[in-house]
Every structure is written in C-alpha cells, then in structure tokens.
Amino acid sequence: MKDVRKDFPILNRTVNGSPLIYLDNAATSQKPKEVVDKIVEYYYKYNSNVHRGIHTLSEESTEMYEGARKLISDFIGADNPREILFTKGTTESLNRIAERWVPANLKRGDVILLSDLEHHSNIIPWQKAAERIGAEINYINTDDNGEITIEEVKKMISDKVKLISISHASNVLGTIVPIKEICKLAHDKGIYVCVDGAQAAPHLKINVQSLGCDFYAFSSHKMLGPMGVGVLWAKEKILKELEPYEYGGGMIDEVSFKNAAWAEIPIRFEAGTPNVSGAVGLGAAVTYLSNIGMDNIRNHEIELSKYLLEGLKEIKGINIIGPREADKRTGLISFYFLNIHSHDIASVLNTLGIAVRSGYHCAMPLHNKLNIPSTVRVSYYLYNTKEELNTLLNGIKKALDILS
C-alpha cells in the first residue's frame, strides 16, 4: 500500500522538525489529492444550487450531487439511491432517528438496547429520546476480550426491546461487532436495528442488505472525504413513513398559506441548500476506496495490527485494551500506563512528529466501566506503514524514559 502515499500531500510535511506520522485516523482521515481536486473542480466549474434551476450550471450540479448519491448507494450495497440521505455526519444521522423515528414507533415502557462500547453520539440521542417518551435504555456488556457475543445479546433481549442501536466497530477497543448475527436475532423478535458505522465504513466492505439492519449511519471525513457531510441509510419503507427532520426550501412538493406537502424521498429529508461539494467529495472518496479495494485495505490493516500488537507487548507496563486478535479489530489500538496520563504520552509523541489521540475518545462510560482514566489511541489507515509504527514504538519508549 506504499504507493498510495503519493496521493496524500499532507504526509510530506514535517511537524516539530520530524516527518509527520499521522496515526489519528479514527478521529479523521487525511484526504487524497483526487478528492480535494474534485471539490475544487466543483467550485471552479459547476457551483450552483441543485434541484432548483433549468440553467446549465444547476443541471450539472444536480447531476454531480445525485451521481454522488448513486456512488455511495453502490458502495454500501443499498437497494437504491433513494435510501441514501445526506447529513452533516454520523451524529446528525443518529439524532434524526432518535428525534423522528423513536417517538413514532416506541412508547412508554419500551426498551432501547445499546452496548457499553458506544460513542457518546450513540448514547445521548437515545437517552434524550427515552426521556421524552418514557422508554428505558439497557446496555449489552462486552466480555473480557472487549467483544460483544451473541449469547450476551440474547440475554438482554426481551419483549420490551423495540430497537437496538449499536456500533459496527468500537472507536476505542477496535472491536468489530457481529452486526449480521445481531440483526437476524433482532428481526426474529420484531426488533429494529440501527448501526453506527462511523468506524466500520472506512475499513470494512459494507453491504447493508447482507447485514440486514434497518438504519446505517457513517461519516465522510473518516473515510478520505471532506468534513461536514455524512450519510444515513434506511430502508425505503421506513423512510416513506418517516416525518422530515427539518422544514423549508427544497423539501416540499406544494405549499399554501395553511399547509404543505412533502417531496418524494430522499429530497424531503434534505431541507435548504445541501452540502453539494461535500457530497461530491464523498463520492470521489468512495470511488478512490473502491479502486484500491476494501479487501486490500482490510488486509493491510490486519497486517499492521499484528505488527503493532507484537511491538507493544514488548513495552514494560503497557496495558492494551480490546481484542487480542488482529482480525477482530479495525485499524486501531488503545492502551494506557498506570500513573502516566495519556495526554503526557501524546505530548511527547507530538514532539517527534507523531500524531495520536489521547483521552476518553467520546466514550467516557466505557472508560469508567474499565476503571481507567483515559487511553492513548493509535489509529492507522491505508497510507500508514510498518516503518512508521517502528518510529511510534521508539517514541513510546522515549516517552516512558521521560515520564517515568
């Protein structure tokens, strides 16, 4: 995968006098020149509002916008592009379901089932929705290896459970969750399944039809695309029955002084001027990923995970969390040291040009459950190398020499 590095100009820069080693991909990925060029091309040649004009630029913009929707639909195996809604990102996508679908489908006493490894964005919207309607929230527990087992899911399912919302992959443990099996189990009981795919879509080959979920949300910026745009996929039948999240221009079919009628899906869910350049950029990103091959990306990350897990085990006093097997996690590893704060480790690494993430990673309940104050998270992607991981390992040892 070394050949791809030439496509990412930012990897050529230095930080604090050292070559940049970017290992914070779970927070946001870098963008290839192909994606940036596509966004620039859009603004230089086609910039116009979509769906609202018969002039050439508007028609071309609309074609690019809807073309991106089709590319993304194909990328995740959607039944048709109408099931793809553009949002600001995973967080907004999950909030849309909590704000609109939950009140229309759940009632007081019903249960929403989450897991203990969730990002705050897949906890708080459901907490607030449950408060409004009087529903309850229960949590599936991970095992000692940081995994979610079907046996544990079965224990948590009851007649009161109406929705399971769960991450496809953890942004702290790296755990890949058995979504397909969970969906089958849930649907046998008439339970809907919403998947937070923010940490999975960049790394795994996704097919929502095969997974069998009802909702799937993910973000552009974690998979080589621009910030400020994401996707909510939902089955067409669900979308047709769902009330719009916002109201205004573009999402209507007819308006009078007294009432309004909505446009067809997906347009009824995209009020106002959409982030056209963001959608176009995401379309370019999924094209780039598809050309490389998601299986190739996955194999590269497994190889890096094996290499890094072995290297970290040689460091005295380190505590690695999450699955011990490289093929059970995405491209990230989190760890901590007793009596040394993660921010201090990350600060020393930054002096060496190494970018990692430290803290709770928007998963405070998980850290509290594990009784650890914070972790250092190393997250790698298709452009990272074993040579970079060697530099990281040496950097961690240097940090320990300074901080111990």
Query: Backbone phi, then psi, for 193, in 5-degree steps?
Result: -130, 125
- Structure tokens that stand for 79 in this block: 């039944």
Contact 312, 394 (CB under 8 A): no
Cα torsion 98, 104, 105, 108 to 10°: value is 90
Which candidate, 104, 98, 89, 105, places its Cα nearest to that of 127?
Answer: 98
Say which of 183, 194, 213, 362 is annotated catalytic.
Answer: 362
Alpha-helical runs (H) found in 17-141 = 33-41, 56-75, 90-96, 102-105, 124-133
Helices 276-292 and 56-75: crossing angle in degrees, nearest 10, is 40
Question: b or e along 371-383 (b: 16 or more beta carbons within 10 Å of the residue's beta carbon)?
Answer: ebebbbbbbbbbb
- Is 362 labeled as catalytic in the residue annotation? yes
Residue 70 half-sphere exposure toward CB, CA atoms < 13 A: 6
How far apart CA 79 and CA 60 sit, in angstroms, is 25
Which residues are catalytically annotated? 362
